[in-house]
Structures are given as structure tokens and as C-alpha cells.
Structure 1
Amino acid sequence: MAKEAMMTNEMSRAKGQPGHLYMQTNEVANAIVHYERKADGSLAELERISTGGAGSGEYKPISGQESAPNAFEGAGSIILTPDRRFLFTTNGGDNSVSAFQVTAEGRLKLIDVKPTGNPVEGRSGTAKSLAFSPATRTLFVLHSFGPDHLRLMSVDAEGKLKLRPERYTVNTYSKRNRVATMVVVSPNEELVIVGTTFDEPIAHTGLYPDGSPILWVQRAGGALHSIASNAPDPDGLAAFRLQKDGSLGTARFYDAKGGSPFYIAFLKARPNAFVIGYAVGDGCSIGTIQQDGTLNIGSLVKIDTSAGVPSELCWLAVSPDDRTVYATNFGYSNICSYRINGGGLEIAKDPACPRVPGDGTARGLNGTVTSGPADSWITSDGAYLYQIYGNAAKLVGYATQSDGSLTEVTSVKIPYNSPQGLAGF
């Protein structure tokens, strides 16, 4: 099987499947950078198009840091519709969404900008993650802060946006300030699932002198409690029933089996199965949607955490053949890989690539100096993986290898600390 996978990768690269890659700068004057992706995996910038909205810049709203990578503390801020006609992106600074038409040549034309309906309180908004339901033509917009974490927009046939009145929270009776991370729509469009990171914003607990956030708070009686979600309270994943009109049912909360269930990636050939990446759980697991619509989460498979915990294993990219998962480690400044072996996971390469250093100014939750890797994206042939390293001001492209390792093939300069989101075809 390894030889077969190696031949498949080599053939994909030999055939050369060029395409397009999009990233938002998240600068205060937000823009989408459109790259031409060449047959050898290299990138060439074609254009920068204003989103008509504001990003948060280098400022990180959930921690209050003046300049830090992964400002959104989330994933999925840029998405393409399945028919590739439209691209949507959040504008985290002013809580708005921009809609672009995608031409046959991959170029973008801005067609609409609409506020999410959540007011901006303080220096920046927190609109961070998007998911689209083609059947109901509903765009779900997730914000870091609630109580109205989820807002809805209708998308017409021309890609124009209209704010809907519905609003939904992932707060619970005892947790009124939760930080949401990522929203996804299940492939069968029956569920909308939201991951969470913290049970209250890091900004409420402050920073250590070295710049790393404080993860523990003191409750009544003097006991220390983690602010990481699902650590240990079993309620880190929220699942909503998606109704035929695009509205959502009441949230049902699930034990994610690990701290801070950050990222949710569905498999392609098994649309009832998904992989979870945990920012504080230091690993990945596989979950499934049961026939009755409930979630079943499998055991967490951890990476090597000898460099310190938490590792902040956050973003995931699943190979198109559903065999390999590439997991981005924010704290460790690298990527590791997993094999999907039937219904479970096993480590393939840990790490899968060398550490990418930053400029030494950013620290992870464990105090490790980090280059702040964030969103990643894998090509439809599985041949190349692209990774943002915000504190290194780099977007790096890797050739995937049959053993799960990654070989760097390209690197382009990007804005410092602020960039978010990757999508392409």
C-alpha cells in the first residue's frame, strides 16, 4: 500500500494539476490574496482584492495581545461553495462577510459585503468561521464571543447575502462566556457542528510575563480550574439539527473526549465520519454520526508532547483518499501526520516536517516560542499541502510523501502575524 501511495503521489505531481489558492490577509484593510498554484506546487501571486471589510490586523481579540499569530483563534474563515461559483470570507475586525464571484479563470469579483448582525465591542469583532448549506442556501457565521455565536445569512442565486434574524449560542447555563472555534455542516446537511476552545476568553485571565496566556482560574474555595473547554467538563462539541428552512434546532452538547476540540474535518468517502483536532488534548480522534443523528466520539490518539503541553494541535487537512490526516501544531511550529486505519487513527510521522522558526515574539499556551502556524489546505489530488506560519510571515508549500512526511517545495512572503484562512481548487 505504501508503494501504491508513493506512485499515486508521484503520478499526481508528474501530471501537474495546477489550480488556485486563496488566503485572507486579515489586515485592517482586509484583502484576499489570490495565488496561482503551479504544476510543481509553487505559488505565484496573481492579485490582491479588497474584501470591503476590516480584519483585526495583528491584534488578537480573545487574548488582548497587541500582535500575535492566529488572531481569530479559529478555522474556516474562507470557503468556496461546492460548485466553485462563490467564495465567502469573514472580516473579523468589523464583523462582516464578503461574497466574491469566482470566474472560470479563478479570479475574484467582489459582489457583496454584509454585517453579521453582531456589534463590535472594543477594538475588534470576532467573526471567524464559515460553513455553507447548499440545500438551504444558508451561510453560517461563527463568532468567538457570544452569546450570539452563530448568525445566519441567506445566499441568493447571484451570491448576494441577506442577514437572517436567527441567532444561536454554544454557551451553557454554567458557562456564559464560551469561545467558539469552528462551524461545519455535515455532508448530509442534517447537522451543524461547532467546536469550542475555551469556557471563557483568555483576555479575562491575562498573560504570563513571557507572553503566554493563563489557562487556569481560581474559583470559589480556592480551587484552580482550566478554562479550556471539555477539560474535563464533557460538553465541548455542540450539534444543532439543520432544518429544511436553514434554521437550527436546540443545541445538544457532547463529550469531545479531549480538551478544546478545535477543528472538525469530515471524511470524503465516509460522510458520517469526521476527525477532531484538539488544541489542549494534544491529539486527534475520529467521531461518527449515528443513524439517530447523535455523535459518537472515539478515543484520542496523542502525539509526542515532550516539548511541552498543551501542544495546540489545531488545524487538520485530510488527504482525498481518506488515508492521511495532517495536523498543525501551533505550539510546536510544525505539522504531524496520522494514518486512518479503518475506524481509528495511528501516528504516521511525528513530526512530519522540520520546525519553522518565527521571530521569537510569539508564545504558545505552554510558553514555547512559536511561528504561529494556522490554517492549512491540501490539494484535491493529495500531492501538495500548504501551511500558514504567521509569525514567520510565510506561506509554505509541501509535497506529501507516502510515509506521511512532508518536503518543502515552495515558500512565499505573507503579511506578518495577521493572515487567516486557506481555500482553493
Structure 2
Amino acid sequence: MMKPKNLAIVVACAALLSACSGSDDSPAAVAHPLYAQSNETDNAVLQFERNADGTFAPRARIATGGKGTNGVDHVNKGVTGPDSLSSNRSVVVSGKRLFVANAGDNTVSVFQIDAATGTPRLLKASPTGGTLPTSVAVNNDVLYVSHQQGGTVGAYKIGVDGALTKIGFYTLSHPDAVLTQVEVSAGGKSLVVNEFLSELATRAPGKTLTTFPIRSDGTLGVPSTVQSSGAGTLGGRFAHGKLSNAYVTAEAVSGSLSTYTLDNGALVAKSGPVIAVGQTEPCWLVITPDNRFVYTGNGAGTVSLYALDSEGRATLVTPVAATEAPPAGVASALAADAWISPDGKFLYQDYLGADKIVAYAIQPDGKLVKIGEQAANTASHVSLQGLDGI
């Protein structure tokens, strides 16, 4: 019989060997990162780490290899201020890749995400061939980019090394139109483009939604257009699962939200415009994974809450589900890009005028309870843009 002392030594050694072996039975560390971009002259990804309770903390700043606008706003003719990109989805996670639009030097950066730490490693910053890239969408190995100046959308093959190769370039309704978002439908058969202003020179509110069929090689076919229900559409998202053909838009000029159904490659109006009573400039939006709730980030510095029914129709629940006070001398905290955790428990919200990101716990009725915030600490204190996570 083995003596107790010897048995203890054997057990200790076995435990040490097991720990060192990295056995498949041992749970691997999984990162839960959140990403934004500083949009500074020397642009950087701002990485945060999310905790199980929804709180989060800064982890790293990683150079994009490209340049941001540092808060200079093309739409407002060179004024420096919050929302300098006037777009939704300038930062996008797709699989193990992170994509960031660098509007300051007309490039898009492609990163590889480390599965254990969530830290993105820059692969390549590639020129898009357009001016002021501000929104990106991914479909398999093809990237789509809308440009704020020139009314153009580009399609690019994504290389293994992260390099982008142009495979198509498309001009929309008017070369002076301000495009604010590209979004790929579920199944990857359609690309929707939102038009915020029909012409920058006249500043006429855009009322056009353009849908391109996506060909098997990733290039785009002949587009169809529809007049939007509200005016000045900035952000848009497809819902999930059984509602993945429902497209929801936030309309800044008319202060509203509308929904559509994607039917045989064309958008058909479903509901709206639903007015966010008392609020101004609902521009950005996110949808909970169960499709029950939609949140819009508003230029007023508030977040509005809407409900979706099983058919994709929207109703207003409350015009102010969350709000943040602006810093001294700033007109609005300006609620912008947002992201919802995959489990649907937490909402993370950019406040561009306050240079920070705020975390909220989503309640069963959709109401929001603030649980934390982190400063972005951008150089201009107004250049923060984009938000996505894992």
C-alpha cells in the first residue's frame, strides 16, 4: 500500500501536469471585448473588457494604421464637434476580424482578434478609392464601404493577409448624396444603403433607401430604390431570426423610426414613421437579440425605447429610456452608436458629446438601468465613434 506522504506527492504532481498540459477538458479563457474608435488624427481602436455583471473597463489602445478626422465634420462643412462621421457602423466585428473605417485618410483597417484576450492585431490598412469612408458591412470574404463624400459604395475582397482588393464601385442617386450606412441582409443576398441627405449642397433631407442584390462573387447588381417613410434616414438594422427580413431605420430629420420588410430584394414599408415625442435627431439604433425592443441614440443626448411586434411593426414605449447630461460648454451629450451583448442583458451606448461609453442593464420591460461608464479620453474630447463587441 502507498504511504500517505507518497500519495500526496503523486496527487500534487498529477495536478501540476494536468494544469500544464492544457487539457481539452479545461475551460479556455474567453474574452468579452468591446471596441470603439478614437477617430483621432492617429486613429486607434479603443478596447474595453466586459465583466459578467455588465460593467466594463479599458484594456488597450491599438493603432489602426490610418487617420481619423479628429472631430472635423464634413457634413457640417469643417466644423469640429461630436458626430464627425455622421454614420452608423464605422467599427464592425465579423467572426475573428475587426474592421475600422479611417475617414481621415480614406482607408479601412482589418484586424485579427485574439480569441483568448480579444486584443485586435492590425493586419492591413488599405485605401478604399473613395472619399471619407464611414460605414462598413461584411458578407463572407467581401467588405462593403459607404463614402460620405461622392455618394459611392465600394466592394472589396478581403485577403487572408487583411488586404482589400476592389471588385466593384458604385455611385448612388446623386454624387453629392450623403450616405450614412451599409447593411447586409441575413443570408447575404442584399445590401441596403441609407441616404441621409439627398444633396450636401442643398442639405435636402434624404428619403431614399437603396437595395442592391449581392451576386455570388460579391459584386452588386442593379439596385432598387424606395422612398423612406421618414426623412433623413441615418441608421438602420435588420432584426434577427424569424424577423431577419425586417429592416428598421432611425430618421434624424423627421425625428422618427420606421420599419420595412425585405421582399424579393426590395424594401416594402411596414410601419411608421413613429415619432420619438419631444426628442430630436434619432440617428442610431440597435435591436435586442429577441427582437422585442429597439433603442435609438438621439442627438438630444437621450435614448428612446420602441417595441417590435411579431410582424415587425414598431410602437414607441418611452421617448426617454436613458439620458446623460452634457459637459459644461457642450450642447448635448449626443447618444450615438450602441451595441447589445449577445445574451440581450446589456446595452452599451456611445455619448459622443461627453466623450464616454455608458453601460445599461436591460430590464424585462426594456427599461434601462445605468451600471457604469468609461471615458474614451480622445484628444479633442468629441471624436469618439463606432461601437461593436463580442
TM-score by length of 1: 0.80
Three-state SS of the structure 1 residue aligned to 2:353 is helix
8 Å CA contact retained: 2:284, 2:336: yes
Correspondence for 1:306: 278
1:65-84 to structure 2, matched below 5 A, reads 65-81=78-94, 84=95
Q: Paired residue for 1:242, among 210, 214, 222?
A: 214
CA distance in 2, matches of 1:24, 1:306: 30
Mapped to 2, the partners of 1:265 and 1:87 lie a distance apart of 19
1:104 aligns with 2:72: no
Deviations 1:275-322 (A, max 9, x none): 1111112121221111x3221112314334435xxx111111111111
* DSSP 3-state at the match of 1:381: coil
The answer as to 2:336 corresponding to 1:356 is no
Partner of 2:142: 138
2:61 aligns with one of 39, 43, 48: 48
**Residues 1:271 and 1:42: Cα distance change in structure 2 (over 3 Å):** same
In structure 1, distance between residues paired with 2:245 and 2:327: 38
SS of corresponding position for 2:80: coil
Change in 2 beyond 3 A, CA 1:195/1:159: farther
* Distance in 1 between residues matched to 2:78 and 2:55, nearest whole Å: 33
Return the alpha-carbon distance in structure 2 between the equivalents of residues 196 and 97 of structure 1: 21
Between Structure 1 and Structure 2, whose CA radius of gyration is higher?
2
1:95-174 mapped onto 2 (5 Å cutoff): 95-105=106-116, 106-118=118-130, 125-134=131-140, 137-147=141-151, 149-156=152-159, 158-171=160-173
How far the C-alpha of 1:159 sits from its partner, in A, is 4.7
CA contact (8 A) 2:180 2:195 kept: yes
2:328, 2:58 → 1: CA distance?
A: 24
Q: TM-score, normalised by structure 2?
A: 0.87
The partner residue of 2:368 within 392, 406, 412 is 406
Q: Deviations over 1:28-50 (max 9, x none)?
A: 00000110011121111111100
Cα distance in 2 for residues equivalent to 1:73 and 1:423: 17
Q: Residue 73 of structure 1 aligns to which amino acid in structure 2?
A: S
Q: Partners in 2 of 1:25 and 1:324 — Cα distance?
A: 29
Residues 54, 371 of structure 2: 8 Å contact kept: yes
Check conservation: 1:322, 1:340, Cα contact below 8 A.
Answer: yes
Query: 1:345/1:159 Cα in 2 relative to 1: closer, same or farther (>3 Å)?
Result: farther
Mapped contact 1:301–1:346 kept (Cα < 8 A):
no
Q: Distance in 2 between matches of 1:176 and 1:380?
A: 37
Offset at residue 77 of structure 1 (A): 0.7
Among residues 238, 255, 258, which one is paired with 1:285 in the alignment? 258
Deviations 1:86-110 (A, max 9, x none): 1111101000011110111211111
Aligned AA (2:337) = D
Counterparts of 1:89 and 1:107, CA distance in 2: 14
- 3-state SS of paired residue (1:391): helix
Could you tell me whether the CA contact under 8 Å between 1:117 and 1:163 is conserved in 2?
A: no
What is the CA–CA distance in structure 2 between the aligned matches of 1:190 and 1:18, rounded to whole Å?
A: 31
Letter in 2 for 1:59: V
Measure how far apart 1:161 and its partner are: 2.0
Residue 354 (structure 2) aligns with: 392
Q: In structure 2, how many angstroms separate the alpha carbons of the residues matched to 1:388 and 1:346?
A: 24
Moved more, 50-59 or 264-273: 264-273
Could you tell me how far apart the structure 2 residues matched to 1:98 and 1:185 are? 19
Answer yes or no: is the 8 Å Cα contact 1:188–1:271 preserved in 2: no
User: 2:304 corresponds to which letter in structure 1?
Assistant: C
Correspondence for 2:387: 422
